[in-house]
């Protein structure tokens, strides 16, 4: 039993081992200090003086020519037989950026994307009364049209049914998303690029299994104090119901609720949760075995960061960073689900790619580092050949898809030009270049 996880791992990863050499935490000497003053608040709408040093432009790698974010398929020609593995993979990626639009299209036949944009950016209207500008309106409408085309194309596919034996129910949009991903698994990759994408997706699935195993044993078992824990959980359930009711009353009529009462309930919930954790038990030997089983798979996925294929890099990076909001935290996500205050022994041993670079860069503040690492990682993704144009992987979030920092220039320029000439000041740009150099040395050499 004790050797079971390790033996299972050996069988599962032999397929990958011959091809990749793990190199997760290579150290890089980088003596230039971070430009701390560069993070003073600046107005992103003001065009910055042009920097003489030009960034490396996006270039297509040999294995990833003609990278595009949006796939255009005519309703008249769509058929399972004409779609390649790469076509369907592109559809899954486009679905990610379209899912909010698709949700509204499936729920509201009168959906207006411009009205929806104005509604979710109300907090910016006082500061930017011209929002959305004509270029943003054009981009919003074009994006909504592309998402509608994608929805129509996906609905024409012979998608597999979801397994509902577990009793779970999903919203129609999410059902469609899951079925599309399952459909991709049924297709056979033919080209070298398609095989590379399938390989990293399969490795990610294996990585997630072993990561979850570590989390499971880190939570702690409850059998040794089951009766006491059951009583505490019943008390927690009642308190949480009371918390929800007070919160509902407060939102309906703030004057009718004593805010102190909600604070007291939250304190009591936190106290009981700590008591539950204290009663749990973790077997150190079993936990160590789970971590030892996870580490080789983690090394293999880290090795995929050295791929010259932008799609492979994208999938590996977002998985290893445990990223939930890809456009905000593509590079470093400091609030990872390691167990935190809810696990008996949080999985603090895990080190992500962003954590490695943060250590090299030599900065402690997560917010400041989050700015430079995320910009730099996106630019590196562009250098690999990703679509970084106005309708590509990243700039639409600054044009109309995001919730803040919405800048008209993002609707009209590629990502390097937008960052350098319209969004970052000179010191910020220099900091980003420093981190980009670290990324290149870690992954491109």
Nearest to 439 by CA among 300, 303, 305: 305
pLDDT the model gives residue 169: 84
Residue 38 has pLDDT above 80, yes or no: no
DSSP 8-state secondary structure symbol assigned to residue 161: P
Instruction: Give tens-digit pLDDT for 225-282.
Output: 899 989 999 999 999 998 888 888 777 777 666 667 788 888 999 899 888 888 888 9
Spell out the alpha helix ranges (H) of 121-171: 122-125, 134-155
Return the C-alpha torsion angle 390, 394, 399, 402, nearest 10: 160
pLDDT the model gives residue 19: 39
**Do the Cβ atoms of 35 and 427 come closer than 8 Å?**
yes
pLDDT band at 80 (very low <50, low <70, confident <90, very high): low
Residues 346-364 as b/e (b if ≥16 CB within 10 A, e otherwise) read bbeebebbbbbbbebbebe
Query: How far is 260 from 213, CA to CA, in rounded Å?
Result: 40
**Do the Cβ atoms of 217 and 290 come closer than 8 Å?**
yes
**Do the Cβ atoms of 427 and 33 come closer than 8 Å?**
no
Residue 35 has pLDDT above 70, yes or no: no
Instruction: Give tens-digit pLDDT for 106-144.
Output: 999 899 999 999 999 998 888 888 999 999 999 999 999
Contacts of 179 (CB under 8 A, 6+ apart): 159, 160, 161, 162
Instruction: Give tens-digit pLDDT for 144-201.
Output: 999 999 999 999 999 999 988 887 888 899 999 999 999 999 999 999 999 999 999 9
Long-range contacts, stretch 147-152, CB < 8 angstroms, 24+ apart? 147/94, 147/98, 147/101, 147/102, 147/105, 148/101, 148/105, 149/72, 149/73, 150/71, 150/91, 150/94, 150/95, 150/98, 150/102, 151/98, 151/102, 151/105, 151/106, 151/176, 152/75
Structure-model confidence comparison of residues 100 and 246, the more confident one: 100
Domain ranges of the chain: 4-21+28-220+282-443, 226-279
**Do the Cβ atoms of 6 and 291 come closer than 8 Å?**
no
Instruction: Give tens-digit pLDDT for 319-339.
Output: 999 977 766 779 998 877 777
pLDDT the model gives residue 205: 97
| C-alpha gyration radius of the chain | 24
Contacts of 348 (CB under 8 A, 6+ apart): 338
Query: How far is 202 from 208, CA to CA, in rounded Å?
Result: 10
**Do the Cβ atoms of 246 and 310 come closer than 8 Å?**
no
């Amino acid at each position: 039993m004790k050797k079971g996880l390790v033996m299972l791992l050996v069988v599962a990863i032999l397929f990958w081992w011959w091809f990749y050499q793990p190199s997760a935490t290579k150290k890089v000497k980088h003596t230039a200090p971070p430009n701390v003053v560069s993070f003073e608040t600046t107005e992103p709408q003001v065009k910055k003086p042009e920097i003489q040093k030009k960034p490396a432009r996006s270039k297509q790698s040999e294995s990833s020519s003609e990278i595009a974010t949006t796939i255009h398929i005519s309703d008249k020609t769509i058929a399972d037989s004409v779609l390649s593995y790469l076509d369907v993979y592109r559809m899954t990626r486009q679905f990610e950026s379209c899912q909010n639009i698709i949700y509204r299209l499936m729920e509201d036949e009168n959906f207006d994307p411009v009205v929806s944009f104005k509604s979710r950016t109300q907090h910016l209207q006082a500061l930017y009364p011209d929002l959305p500008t004509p270029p943003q309106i054009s981009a919003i409408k074009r994006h909504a049209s592309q998402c509608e085309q994608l929805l129509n194309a996906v609905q024409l596919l012979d998608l597999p049914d979801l397994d509902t034996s577990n009793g779970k129910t999903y919203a129609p949009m999410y059902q469609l998303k899951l079925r599309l991903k399952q459909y991709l698994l049924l297709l056979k990759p033919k080209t070298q690029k398609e095989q590379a994408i399938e390989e990293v997706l399969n490795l990610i699935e294996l990585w997630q299994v072993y990561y979850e195993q570590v989390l499971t044993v880190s939570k702690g078992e409850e059998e040794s104090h089951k009766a006491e824990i059951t009583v505490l959980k019943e008390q927690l359930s009642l308190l949480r119901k009371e918390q929800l009711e007070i919160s509902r009353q407060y939102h309906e009529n703030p004057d009718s609720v004593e805010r102190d009462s909600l604070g007291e309930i939250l304190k009591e919930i936190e106290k009981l949760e700590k008591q539950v954790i204290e009663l749990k038990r973790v077997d150190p030997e079993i936990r160590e075995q789970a971590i030892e089983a996870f580490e080789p798979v983690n090394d293999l996925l880290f090795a995929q960061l050295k791929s010259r294929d932008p799609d492979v890099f994208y999938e590996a990076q977002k998985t290893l960073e445990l990223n939930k909001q890809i456009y905000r935290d593509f590079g470093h996500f400091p609030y990872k689900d390691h167990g935190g205050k809810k696990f008996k022994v949080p999985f603090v041993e895990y080190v992500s790619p962003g954590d490695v670079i943060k250590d090299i860069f030599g900065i402690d503040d997560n917010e400041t580092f989050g700015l430079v690492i995320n910009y730099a990682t996106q630019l590196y993704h562009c250098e690999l050949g990703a679509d970084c144009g106005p309708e590509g992987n990243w700039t639409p979030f600054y044009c109309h898809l995001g919730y803040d920092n919405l800048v008209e220039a993002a609707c009209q320029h590629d990502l390097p030009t937008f960052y350098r000439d319209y969004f970052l000041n000179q010191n910020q740009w220099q900091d980003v270049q420093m981190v980009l150099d670290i990324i290149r040395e870690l992954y491109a050499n």
